[in-house]
Amino acid sequence: METIYASNIGIDTLWVLIAAFLVFFMQAGFGMVEAGFIRAKNACNILTKNFLDFCMASIGFFIFGYAIMFGRGNSFMGLQGWFLSGAQSAAPVPLFAFWLFQAAFCGAAATIVAGGMAERMKFSAYLVYSFIISAFIYPVVGHWIWGGGWLAKLNFIDFAGSTVVHTVGGFAALIGTIILKPRIGKYNSDKSANAIAGHNIPLASLGVFILWFGWFGFNPGSTLSVGNGNLIARVAINTNLAAASGGILAMFTIWKMFGKPDLSMAMNGALAGLVAITAPCAFIDPWAAITIGIVAGIIVVLGVVLLDRLNIDDPVGAVSVHGINGVWGTLAIGLFGKQALGLANNGLFYGGGLKQLGVQLLGVTAVIIFILITMGIVFKLIDATIGLRVSREEELRGLDIGEHGMESYAGFQVFVTE
Amino acid sequence: MKLIIAMIQPHKLPDVKKALYGAEVFKMTVTNALGCGQQKGYTETYRGVIHEVNLLKKVRLEIAVNEDFVEPTIKAIIKGSRSGKIGDGKIFVLDLPECIRIRTGERGGYAIG
Protein backbone atom coordinates (compact mmCIF):
# COMPACT_ATOMS: atom_id res chain seq x y z
CA MET A 1 0.00 0.00 0.00
CA GLU A 2 1.24 3.44 -0.88
CA THR A 3 2.06 5.68 2.04
CA ILE A 4 0.73 9.20 1.76
CA TYR A 5 2.44 11.94 3.74
CA ALA A 6 0.90 15.30 4.55
CA SER A 7 2.57 18.12 2.69
CA ASN A 8 4.33 20.93 4.54
CA ILE A 9 1.61 23.31 3.53
CA GLY A 10 -0.99 20.86 4.76
CA ILE A 11 0.61 20.70 8.20
CA ASP A 12 0.97 24.48 8.32
CA THR A 13 -2.67 24.90 7.35
CA LEU A 14 -3.75 22.48 10.04
CA TRP A 15 -1.69 24.42 12.57
CA VAL A 16 -3.10 27.80 11.57
CA LEU A 17 -6.65 26.47 11.61
CA ILE A 18 -6.24 24.88 15.05
CA ALA A 19 -4.86 28.21 16.27
CA ALA A 20 -7.81 30.02 14.66
CA PHE A 21 -10.23 27.74 16.49
CA LEU A 22 -8.42 28.45 19.77
CA VAL A 23 -8.55 32.20 19.17
CA PHE A 24 -12.25 31.87 18.35
CA PHE A 25 -12.73 30.16 21.72
CA MET A 26 -11.24 33.23 23.41
CA GLN A 27 -14.53 34.89 22.56
CA ALA A 28 -16.07 32.64 25.20
CA GLY A 29 -13.32 33.69 27.59
CA PHE A 30 -14.05 37.37 27.06
CA GLY A 31 -17.75 36.69 27.52
CA MET A 32 -17.30 34.85 30.81
CA VAL A 33 -14.82 37.38 32.23
CA GLU A 34 -17.00 40.33 31.38
CA ALA A 35 -20.23 38.68 32.55
CA GLY A 36 -18.62 37.62 35.82
CA PHE A 37 -17.17 41.04 36.56
CA ILE A 38 -20.46 42.93 36.18
CA ARG A 39 -23.80 42.78 37.97
CA ALA A 40 -26.33 40.02 37.40
CA LYS A 41 -28.89 42.44 35.99
CA ASN A 42 -26.67 43.13 32.95
CA ALA A 43 -25.18 39.68 32.28
CA CYS A 44 -27.48 38.74 29.42
CA ASN A 45 -26.78 42.10 27.78
CA ILE A 46 -22.98 41.77 27.86
CA LEU A 47 -23.14 38.22 26.53
CA THR A 48 -25.41 39.31 23.68
CA LYS A 49 -22.84 41.97 22.84
CA ASN A 50 -19.98 39.45 22.96
CA PHE A 51 -21.89 37.02 20.83
CA LEU A 52 -23.05 39.50 18.21
CA ASP A 53 -19.74 41.30 17.86
CA PHE A 54 -18.09 38.13 16.63
CA CYS A 55 -20.89 37.71 14.13
CA MET A 56 -20.51 41.34 13.05
CA ALA A 57 -16.71 41.07 12.90
CA SER A 58 -16.90 37.95 10.74
CA ILE A 59 -19.12 39.62 8.17
CA GLY A 60 -17.41 43.02 8.34
CA PHE A 61 -13.97 41.48 8.02
CA PHE A 62 -15.15 39.41 5.06
CA ILE A 63 -16.69 42.29 3.13
CA PHE A 64 -14.27 45.13 3.86
CA GLY A 65 -11.74 44.25 6.57
CA TYR A 66 -9.47 41.80 4.82
CA ALA A 67 -9.17 44.00 1.73
CA ILE A 68 -8.21 47.02 3.82
CA MET A 69 -5.79 45.02 5.97
CA PHE A 70 -4.01 42.76 3.48
CA GLY A 71 -5.05 43.97 0.03
CA ARG A 72 -2.67 45.80 -2.28
CA GLY A 73 -2.95 49.52 -1.79
CA ASN A 74 -0.88 52.33 -0.34
CA SER A 75 1.01 52.46 2.94
CA PHE A 76 -2.10 53.72 4.77
CA MET A 77 -4.61 51.05 3.72
CA GLY A 78 -5.22 48.21 1.29
CA LEU A 79 -7.73 48.72 -1.49
CA GLN A 80 -8.18 45.37 -3.18
CA GLY A 81 -9.89 42.09 -2.38
CA TRP A 82 -13.36 43.20 -1.29
CA PHE A 83 -15.51 40.15 -0.39
CA LEU A 84 -12.20 38.25 -0.66
CA SER A 85 -12.58 38.32 -4.43
CA GLY A 86 -9.12 38.44 -5.92
CA ALA A 87 -7.60 38.53 -2.45
CA GLN A 88 -4.38 36.75 -1.70
CA SER A 89 -3.13 35.08 1.42
CA ALA A 90 -0.40 37.00 3.21
CA ALA A 91 1.08 33.77 4.58
CA PRO A 92 2.21 30.46 3.09
CA VAL A 93 -1.16 28.86 3.90
CA PRO A 94 -4.38 28.97 1.87
CA LEU A 95 -6.30 32.24 1.91
CA PHE A 96 -9.34 30.83 3.68
CA ALA A 97 -7.28 29.47 6.58
CA PHE A 98 -5.37 32.73 6.92
CA TRP A 99 -8.62 34.71 6.69
CA LEU A 100 -10.26 32.69 9.48
CA PHE A 101 -7.24 33.19 11.75
CA GLN A 102 -7.24 36.95 11.09
CA ALA A 103 -11.01 37.23 11.49
CA ALA A 104 -10.78 35.65 14.92
CA PHE A 105 -8.19 38.30 15.88
CA CYS A 106 -10.45 41.01 14.56
CA GLY A 107 -13.30 39.71 16.74
CA ALA A 108 -11.03 39.81 19.79
CA ALA A 109 -10.18 43.47 19.22
CA ALA A 110 -13.87 44.35 18.88
CA THR A 111 -15.00 42.48 21.98
CA ILE A 112 -12.49 44.11 24.35
CA VAL A 113 -14.55 47.29 24.18
CA ALA A 114 -17.73 45.61 25.46
CA GLY A 115 -16.19 45.23 28.93
CA GLY A 116 -14.98 48.81 29.22
CA MET A 117 -18.37 50.19 28.23
CA ALA A 118 -20.40 47.57 30.10
CA GLU A 119 -23.62 48.07 32.06
CA ARG A 120 -24.79 51.24 30.32
CA MET A 121 -24.13 51.15 26.58
CA LYS A 122 -27.13 50.72 24.30
CA PHE A 123 -27.25 47.44 22.43
CA SER A 124 -28.12 48.96 19.05
CA ALA A 125 -25.20 51.38 19.41
CA TYR A 126 -22.92 48.46 20.18
CA LEU A 127 -23.97 46.61 17.03
CA VAL A 128 -23.12 49.59 14.85
CA TYR A 129 -19.85 50.19 16.69
CA SER A 130 -18.72 46.56 16.36
CA PHE A 131 -19.29 46.52 12.60
CA ILE A 132 -17.41 49.79 12.08
CA ILE A 133 -14.36 48.83 14.17
CA SER A 134 -13.98 45.40 12.61
CA ALA A 135 -14.70 46.41 9.02
CA PHE A 136 -12.73 49.67 8.90
CA ILE A 137 -10.78 50.85 11.96
CA TYR A 138 -8.99 47.69 13.06
CA PRO A 139 -8.00 46.70 9.50
CA VAL A 140 -6.35 50.09 8.88
CA VAL A 141 -4.07 49.63 11.88
CA GLY A 142 -3.53 46.02 10.84
CA HIS A 143 -2.45 47.17 7.39
CA TRP A 144 0.08 49.59 8.86
CA ILE A 145 1.77 46.81 10.84
CA TRP A 146 0.99 43.44 9.24
CA GLY A 147 -0.17 44.37 5.75
CA GLY A 148 3.00 46.08 4.52
CA GLY A 149 1.96 49.58 5.56
CA TRP A 150 4.14 52.47 6.72
CA LEU A 151 4.97 51.06 10.16
CA ALA A 152 6.00 47.70 8.68
CA LYS A 153 8.37 49.57 6.36
CA LEU A 154 9.94 51.24 9.40
CA ASN A 155 10.63 47.79 10.91
CA PHE A 156 8.04 48.27 13.61
CA ILE A 157 7.48 44.81 15.13
CA ASP A 158 4.36 43.40 16.72
CA PHE A 159 4.53 39.62 16.55
CA ALA A 160 1.00 38.61 17.54
CA GLY A 161 -0.85 41.84 18.21
CA SER A 162 -0.08 43.73 21.44
CA THR A 163 -0.62 46.86 19.38
CA VAL A 164 -2.78 45.63 16.50
CA VAL A 165 -5.34 43.89 18.69
CA HIS A 166 -4.95 44.92 22.31
CA THR A 167 -3.89 48.55 22.13
CA VAL A 168 -6.60 49.12 19.53
CA GLY A 169 -9.27 47.45 21.68
CA GLY A 170 -8.03 48.98 24.93
CA PHE A 171 -7.88 52.55 23.71
CA ALA A 172 -11.17 52.26 21.85
CA ALA A 173 -12.60 51.18 25.22
CA LEU A 174 -10.91 54.16 26.89
CA ILE A 175 -12.37 56.80 24.59
CA GLY A 176 -15.70 54.98 24.63
CA THR A 177 -16.00 54.90 28.41
CA ILE A 178 -14.92 58.55 28.66
CA ILE A 179 -17.64 59.61 26.20
CA LEU A 180 -20.17 57.30 27.85
CA LYS A 181 -19.45 58.63 31.39
CA PRO A 182 -19.39 56.50 34.56
CA ARG A 183 -22.14 54.16 35.70
CA ILE A 184 -24.70 55.59 38.11
CA GLY A 185 -23.37 55.27 41.65
CA LYS A 186 -19.75 54.54 40.72
CA TYR A 187 -18.27 57.83 41.88
CA ASN A 188 -19.31 60.10 44.71
CA SER A 189 -19.51 63.88 44.50
CA ASP A 190 -16.14 64.11 46.32
CA LYS A 191 -14.66 62.00 43.45
CA SER A 192 -14.10 58.92 45.62
CA ALA A 193 -15.00 55.60 44.01
CA ASN A 194 -17.51 52.99 45.11
CA ALA A 195 -17.00 49.29 44.54
CA ILE A 196 -19.59 47.78 42.22
CA ALA A 197 -18.81 44.13 42.78
CA GLY A 198 -18.93 41.57 39.99
CA HIS A 199 -21.70 39.04 40.45
CA ASN A 200 -19.97 35.78 39.57
CA ILE A 201 -16.30 35.27 40.32
CA PRO A 202 -16.36 31.55 39.37
CA LEU A 203 -17.62 32.51 35.90
CA ALA A 204 -14.92 35.16 35.56
CA SER A 205 -12.27 32.63 36.64
CA LEU A 206 -13.43 30.20 33.98
CA GLY A 207 -13.19 33.03 31.48
CA VAL A 208 -9.60 33.80 32.43
CA PHE A 209 -8.62 30.14 32.06
CA ILE A 210 -10.30 30.02 28.65
CA LEU A 211 -8.44 33.16 27.57
CA TRP A 212 -5.12 31.78 28.79
CA PHE A 213 -5.84 28.55 26.90
CA GLY A 214 -6.88 30.44 23.79
CA TRP A 215 -3.71 32.51 23.94
CA PHE A 216 -1.79 29.34 23.07
CA GLY A 217 -3.43 29.75 19.69
CA PHE A 218 -3.17 33.53 19.59
CA ASN A 219 0.62 33.71 20.02
CA PRO A 220 2.05 30.36 18.87
CA GLY A 221 -0.40 30.36 15.95
CA SER A 222 0.99 33.69 14.77
CA THR A 223 4.08 31.81 13.57
CA LEU A 224 1.73 30.79 10.71
CA SER A 225 3.90 27.74 10.06
CA VAL A 226 5.18 24.77 12.01
CA GLY A 227 8.76 24.79 10.73
CA ASN A 228 11.04 22.66 12.88
CA GLY A 229 8.96 23.50 15.96
CA ASN A 230 11.55 25.73 17.63
CA LEU A 231 9.73 29.01 17.18
CA ILE A 232 6.34 27.64 18.25
CA ALA A 233 7.89 26.16 21.37
CA ARG A 234 9.65 29.42 22.26
CA VAL A 235 6.47 31.44 21.79
CA ALA A 236 4.42 28.97 23.84
CA ILE A 237 6.75 28.91 26.84
CA ASN A 238 7.15 32.69 26.81
CA THR A 239 3.38 33.11 26.67
CA ASN A 240 2.88 30.85 29.64
CA LEU A 241 5.66 32.37 31.77
CA ALA A 242 4.46 35.94 31.26
CA ALA A 243 0.90 35.01 32.22
CA ALA A 244 2.10 33.24 35.36
CA SER A 245 4.39 36.02 36.54
CA GLY A 246 1.74 38.63 35.73
CA GLY A 247 -0.79 36.81 37.88
CA ILE A 248 1.61 36.45 40.80
CA LEU A 249 2.77 40.05 40.74
CA ALA A 250 -0.71 41.53 40.39
CA MET A 251 -1.77 39.43 43.39
CA PHE A 252 1.15 40.65 45.50
CA THR A 253 0.67 44.25 44.39
CA ILE A 254 -3.00 44.35 45.37
CA TRP A 255 -2.21 42.40 48.57
CA LYS A 256 0.37 44.99 49.58
CA MET A 257 -1.79 47.97 48.61
CA PHE A 258 -5.17 46.87 49.99
CA GLY A 259 -4.45 44.05 52.42
CA LYS A 260 -6.01 41.08 50.60
CA PRO A 261 -5.03 38.92 47.61
CA ASP A 262 -7.96 39.91 45.41
CA LEU A 263 -8.64 37.10 42.91
CA SER A 264 -10.19 39.37 40.29
CA MET A 265 -7.05 41.49 40.24
CA ALA A 266 -4.71 38.48 40.16
CA MET A 267 -6.61 37.26 37.13
CA ASN A 268 -6.40 40.68 35.51
CA GLY A 269 -2.64 40.37 36.11
CA ALA A 270 -2.40 37.09 34.21
CA LEU A 271 -4.31 38.66 31.32
CA ALA A 272 -2.02 41.69 31.47
CA GLY A 273 1.01 39.40 31.22
CA LEU A 274 -0.55 37.68 28.22
CA VAL A 275 -1.30 40.97 26.49
CA ALA A 276 2.22 42.26 27.12
CA ILE A 277 3.95 39.08 25.86
CA THR A 278 1.91 39.05 22.66
CA ALA A 279 4.19 41.43 20.76
CA PRO A 280 7.63 40.26 21.92
CA CYS A 281 7.05 36.50 22.44
CA ALA A 282 9.01 35.36 19.39
CA PHE A 283 12.07 37.56 19.90
CA ILE A 284 12.95 37.09 23.56
CA ASP A 285 14.35 34.55 26.01
CA PRO A 286 12.23 33.04 28.81
CA TRP A 287 13.82 35.19 31.54
CA ALA A 288 12.68 38.27 29.64
CA ALA A 289 9.14 36.85 29.40
CA ILE A 290 9.05 36.53 33.18
CA THR A 291 10.32 40.09 33.56
CA ILE A 292 7.74 41.41 31.11
CA GLY A 293 5.01 39.56 33.03
CA ILE A 294 6.22 40.97 36.35
CA VAL A 295 6.04 44.54 35.08
CA ALA A 296 2.65 43.86 33.48
CA GLY A 297 1.27 42.50 36.76
CA ILE A 298 2.30 45.64 38.61
CA ILE A 299 1.14 48.20 36.07
CA VAL A 300 -2.24 46.58 35.58
CA VAL A 301 -3.05 47.21 39.25
CA LEU A 302 -1.68 50.76 39.15
CA GLY A 303 -3.66 51.38 35.95
CA VAL A 304 -6.94 50.31 37.56
CA VAL A 305 -6.28 52.51 40.60
CA LEU A 306 -5.28 55.45 38.38
CA LEU A 307 -8.42 55.22 36.24
CA ASP A 308 -10.56 55.28 39.38
CA ARG A 309 -8.66 58.36 40.58
CA LEU A 310 -9.48 60.03 37.26
CA ASN A 311 -13.12 58.89 37.58
CA ILE A 312 -12.93 56.92 34.34
CA ASP A 313 -15.25 53.98 34.85
CA ASP A 314 -13.94 50.75 33.30
CA PRO A 315 -16.00 47.96 34.89
CA VAL A 316 -13.74 45.04 33.94
CA GLY A 317 -10.32 46.69 33.69
CA ALA A 318 -10.19 46.53 29.87
CA VAL A 319 -8.15 49.71 29.53
CA SER A 320 -5.48 48.61 32.02
CA VAL A 321 -5.26 45.04 30.76
CA HIS A 322 -5.39 45.62 27.01
CA GLY A 323 -4.58 49.29 26.49
CA ILE A 324 -1.77 50.00 28.92
CA ASN A 325 -0.21 46.55 28.71
CA GLY A 326 -0.53 46.51 24.94
CA VAL A 327 1.72 49.56 24.98
CA TRP A 328 4.09 47.96 27.48
CA GLY A 329 4.40 44.77 25.42
CA THR A 330 5.08 46.74 22.26
CA LEU A 331 7.83 48.74 23.93
CA ALA A 332 9.30 45.60 25.53
CA ILE A 333 10.55 44.49 22.09
CA GLY A 334 12.82 47.50 22.10
CA LEU A 335 14.21 46.44 25.49
CA PHE A 336 14.45 42.65 25.43
CA GLY A 337 14.36 41.80 21.70
CA LYS A 338 17.26 39.86 20.16
CA GLN A 339 18.63 40.30 16.67
CA ALA A 340 19.64 36.63 16.72
CA LEU A 341 15.93 35.73 16.89
CA GLY A 342 14.98 37.68 13.80
CA LEU A 343 14.72 41.35 14.81
CA ALA A 344 16.26 44.12 12.72
CA ASN A 345 18.02 45.54 15.78
CA ASN A 346 18.99 44.27 19.20
CA GLY A 347 16.97 45.66 22.07
CA LEU A 348 18.36 48.13 24.58
CA PHE A 349 19.40 45.40 27.04
CA TYR A 350 21.35 43.56 24.34
CA GLY A 351 23.39 46.59 23.39
CA GLY A 352 21.23 47.60 20.42
CA GLY A 353 20.68 51.10 21.72
CA LEU A 354 17.43 53.00 21.41
CA LYS A 355 16.73 52.39 17.72
CA GLN A 356 14.16 49.59 18.00
CA LEU A 357 12.65 51.15 21.13
CA GLY A 358 12.21 54.42 19.26
CA VAL A 359 10.43 52.74 16.36
CA GLN A 360 8.17 50.84 18.76
CA LEU A 361 7.33 54.04 20.63
CA LEU A 362 6.57 55.90 17.41
CA GLY A 363 4.35 53.10 16.13
CA VAL A 364 2.29 52.57 19.25
CA THR A 365 1.87 56.34 19.73
CA ALA A 366 0.62 56.72 16.17
CA VAL A 367 -1.86 53.88 16.67
CA ILE A 368 -3.17 55.37 19.93
CA ILE A 369 -3.70 58.79 18.34
CA PHE A 370 -5.41 57.22 15.33
CA ILE A 371 -7.74 55.15 17.54
CA LEU A 372 -8.61 57.97 19.93
CA ILE A 373 -9.54 60.27 17.04
CA THR A 374 -11.38 57.82 14.78
CA MET A 375 -13.20 55.96 17.55
CA GLY A 376 -13.95 59.25 19.28
CA ILE A 377 -15.68 60.43 16.12
CA VAL A 378 -17.49 57.09 15.68
CA PHE A 379 -18.84 57.11 19.25
CA LYS A 380 -19.84 60.79 19.03
CA LEU A 381 -21.69 60.13 15.76
CA ILE A 382 -23.48 57.12 17.24
CA ASP A 383 -24.36 59.22 20.29
CA ALA A 384 -25.83 61.97 18.10
CA THR A 385 -27.88 59.57 15.96
CA ILE A 386 -29.08 56.44 17.78
CA GLY A 387 -27.76 57.33 21.23
CA LEU A 388 -24.91 55.66 23.08
CA ARG A 389 -26.36 55.24 26.55
CA VAL A 390 -29.55 53.70 27.93
CA SER A 391 -31.95 55.73 30.06
CA ARG A 392 -31.31 56.18 33.77
CA GLU A 393 -34.30 54.05 34.67
CA GLU A 394 -33.19 51.25 32.39
CA GLU A 395 -29.67 51.36 33.78
CA LEU A 396 -30.97 51.06 37.33
CA ARG A 397 -33.37 48.27 36.46
CA GLY A 398 -30.75 46.45 34.41
CA LEU A 399 -30.12 46.16 30.70
CA ASP A 400 -31.24 42.52 30.61
CA ILE A 401 -34.91 43.42 30.95
CA GLY A 402 -34.61 46.83 29.31
CA GLU A 403 -32.74 45.78 26.16
CA HIS A 404 -33.61 42.12 25.77
CA GLY A 405 -36.77 41.54 27.81
CA MET A 406 -35.26 38.54 29.55
CA GLU A 407 -33.35 37.77 32.69
CA SER A 408 -30.02 35.97 32.97
CA TYR A 409 -31.09 34.11 36.07
CA ALA A 410 -34.80 33.49 35.75
CA GLY A 411 -36.13 31.86 38.90
CA PHE A 412 -33.44 33.41 41.08
CA GLN A 413 -34.08 36.52 43.08
CA VAL A 414 -31.58 39.08 41.92
CA PHE A 415 -31.22 41.77 44.56
CA VAL A 416 -30.72 45.18 43.00
CA THR A 417 -29.39 47.72 45.47
CA GLU A 418 -27.42 50.15 43.35
CA MET B 1 -43.47 54.89 67.74
CA LYS B 2 -44.44 53.75 64.29
CA LEU B 3 -43.27 51.04 61.92
CA ILE B 4 -43.23 52.24 58.34
CA ILE B 5 -43.33 49.55 55.69
CA ALA B 6 -42.92 50.56 52.07
CA MET B 7 -43.11 48.52 48.89
CA ILE B 8 -41.19 50.26 46.13
CA GLN B 9 -39.77 49.61 42.67
CA PRO B 10 -36.34 47.95 43.01
CA HIS B 11 -34.66 50.44 40.70
CA LYS B 12 -35.89 53.31 42.89
CA LEU B 13 -34.00 52.04 45.94
CA PRO B 14 -30.90 54.21 45.38
CA ASP B 15 -33.07 57.32 45.11
CA VAL B 16 -35.11 56.42 48.19
CA LYS B 17 -31.97 55.76 50.22
CA LYS B 18 -30.61 59.12 49.16
CA ALA B 19 -33.81 60.91 50.11
CA LEU B 20 -33.92 59.12 53.47
CA TYR B 21 -30.34 60.13 54.21
CA GLY B 22 -31.34 63.69 53.31
CA ALA B 23 -34.11 63.48 55.92
CA GLU B 24 -31.59 62.09 58.43
CA VAL B 25 -33.16 58.66 58.49
CA PHE B 26 -30.22 56.28 58.50
CA LYS B 27 -31.69 53.03 59.80
CA MET B 28 -33.64 50.66 57.67
CA THR B 29 -34.15 47.04 56.73
CA VAL B 30 -34.38 46.16 53.06
CA THR B 31 -35.60 42.87 51.64
CA ASN B 32 -36.52 41.53 48.25
CA ALA B 33 -40.20 40.96 47.84
CA LEU B 34 -42.57 39.68 45.18
CA GLY B 35 -46.02 41.08 44.77
CA CYS B 36 -48.55 42.82 42.65
CA GLY B 37 -51.07 45.57 43.03
CA GLN B 38 -53.04 47.44 40.40
CA GLN B 39 -50.29 46.89 37.86
CA LYS B 40 -51.07 43.16 37.91
CA GLY B 41 -47.91 42.11 36.05
CA TYR B 42 -45.84 42.61 32.95
CA THR B 43 -44.84 40.57 29.94
CA GLU B 44 -41.49 39.01 29.33
CA THR B 45 -40.34 37.27 26.19
CA TYR B 46 -38.23 34.18 26.27
CA ARG B 47 -37.10 32.68 22.95
CA GLY B 48 -40.02 34.27 21.17
CA VAL B 49 -42.65 33.11 23.64
CA ILE B 50 -44.47 35.88 25.46
CA HIS B 51 -45.44 35.13 29.01
CA GLU B 52 -47.11 37.10 31.73
CA VAL B 53 -45.10 37.63 34.85
CA ASN B 54 -47.73 37.94 37.51
CA LEU B 55 -45.75 38.68 40.65
CA LEU B 56 -43.46 41.62 40.22
CA LYS B 57 -40.16 42.16 41.93
CA LYS B 58 -40.42 44.81 44.61
CA VAL B 59 -38.23 45.98 47.41
CA ARG B 60 -39.65 46.07 50.91
CA LEU B 61 -38.35 48.71 53.28
CA GLU B 62 -39.00 48.59 57.01
CA ILE B 63 -38.18 51.61 59.12
CA ALA B 64 -39.05 52.05 62.78
CA VAL B 65 -39.25 55.71 63.83
CA ASN B 66 -40.31 57.99 66.66
CA GLU B 67 -43.41 60.13 66.09
CA ASP B 68 -41.60 63.27 64.92
CA PHE B 69 -39.85 61.31 62.17
CA VAL B 70 -42.98 59.74 60.69
CA GLU B 71 -43.86 62.50 58.23
CA PRO B 72 -40.28 63.23 57.10
CA THR B 73 -39.73 59.52 56.46
CA ILE B 74 -42.93 59.18 54.44
CA LYS B 75 -42.09 62.30 52.45
CA ALA B 76 -38.59 61.03 51.71
CA ILE B 77 -39.85 57.65 50.53
CA ILE B 78 -42.34 59.32 48.22
CA LYS B 79 -39.74 61.74 46.96
CA GLY B 80 -37.37 58.94 46.05
CA SER B 81 -39.80 56.40 44.67
CA ARG B 82 -42.55 58.35 42.91
CA SER B 83 -42.53 58.33 39.12
CA GLY B 84 -46.25 59.03 38.72
CA LYS B 85 -46.74 55.79 36.86
CA ILE B 86 -48.58 52.69 37.97
CA GLY B 87 -46.40 50.40 40.09
CA ASP B 88 -44.73 53.04 42.26
CA GLY B 89 -45.75 51.11 45.36
CA LYS B 90 -47.38 51.65 48.74
CA ILE B 91 -46.49 52.80 52.21
CA PHE B 92 -48.04 51.27 55.34
CA VAL B 93 -47.75 52.94 58.74
CA LEU B 94 -48.29 50.70 61.76
CA ASP B 95 -48.30 51.42 65.48
CA LEU B 96 -45.26 50.00 67.20
CA PRO B 97 -45.86 49.19 70.86
CA GLU B 98 -42.31 48.34 71.87
CA CYS B 99 -38.70 48.35 70.65
CA ILE B 100 -35.67 46.87 72.41
CA ARG B 101 -32.02 47.27 71.49
CA ILE B 102 -30.49 43.86 72.17
CA ARG B 103 -26.99 45.06 72.93
CA THR B 104 -27.90 47.54 75.69
CA GLY B 105 -31.38 46.53 76.75
CA GLU B 106 -32.65 50.06 76.04
CA ARG B 107 -36.37 50.28 75.35
CA GLY B 108 -38.82 52.51 73.52
CA GLY B 109 -37.81 55.69 71.72
CA TYR B 110 -34.20 55.49 72.89
CA ALA B 111 -33.80 52.10 71.27
CA ILE B 112 -35.04 53.38 67.93
CA GLY B 113 -32.88 56.49 67.66
Amino acid at A188: N
Q: Are A308 and A193 in contact (CB under 8 A)?
A: yes
Share of chain A above pLDDT 70, in %: 99
Give backbone dihedrals phi and psi of A100, rounded to 5 degrees, phi first.
-60, -45
The answer, for A184 touching chain B at a CB cutoff of 8 Å, is: yes
With a cut of 70, say whether residue A418 has pLDDT above it.
Answer: no
Average pLDDT over residues A349-361: 93
Average pLDDT over residues B48-52: 70
Decide yes or no: CATH 1.10.3430.10 for domain A8-404.
yes
Give Dmax (Cα) for chain A. 81
Quick one: pLDDT band at residue B43, thresholds 50, 70, 90? low
Q: A270 in helix, strand or coil? A: helix
Q: What average pLDDT does chain A have?
A: 95
CA of A366: how far to CAs of A107, A141, A210, A256, in Å? 22, 10, 31, 35
Q: What stretch of H or E contains B59? A: strand B56-65
Q: Are strands B29-35 and B56-65 parallel, antiparallel or unpaired?
A: antiparallel
The answer, for A5 touching chain B at a CB cutoff of 8 Å, is: no
Q: What is the pLDDT of residues A219-237, one digit of tens each?
A: 999 999 999 999 999 999 9
With a cut of 90, say whether residue B55 has pLDDT above it.
Answer: no
Quick one: pLDDT band at residue A90, thresholds 50, 70, 90? very high
CA of A294: how far to CAs of A27, A71, A301, A349, in Å? 26, 38, 12, 17
Average pLDDT over residues A111-130: 96
- Go through the domains of chain B in sequence order and give each one's CATH number: 2-40+53-112 (3.30.70.120)
Instruction: Report CB contact under 8 Å: A413, B11.
Output: no
Q: Are A140 and A76 in contact (CB under 8 A)?
A: yes
The answer, for B38 touching chain A at a CB cutoff of 8 Å, is: no
Kindly write down the DSSP assignment for every residue of A71-88, as one continuous string: SSB-SS-B---GGGTT--
Q: A158 in helix, strand or coil? A: coil
With a cut of 70, say whether residue A209 has pLDDT above it.
Answer: yes
Neighbouring C-beta atoms of residue B18, cutoff 10 Å: 13
What pLDDT, on a 0 to 100 scale, did the predictor assign at position B35?
85
Domain ranges of chain A: 8-404
Buried b (16+ CB within 10 A) or exposed e, A218-242: bbbbbbbbbeeeebbebbbebbbbb
Q: A294 in helix, strand or coil? A: helix
With a cut of 90, say whether residue B41 has pLDDT above it.
Answer: no
Distance CA A273, CA A270 (A): 5
Helices (H), A310-410: 318, 325-336, 355-385, 392-397, 399
Which of B11, B12, B44 lies nearest to residue A405, judging by beta carbons?
A: B44
Q: B62 in helix, strand or coil? A: strand
What pLDDT, on a 0 to 100 scale, did the predictor assign at position A417?
64
Which of A185, A393, A405 lies nearest to residue B45, judging by beta carbons?
A: A405
Distance CA A233, CA A221 (A): 11
What pLDDT, on a 0 to 100 scale, did the predictor assign at position B38?
78
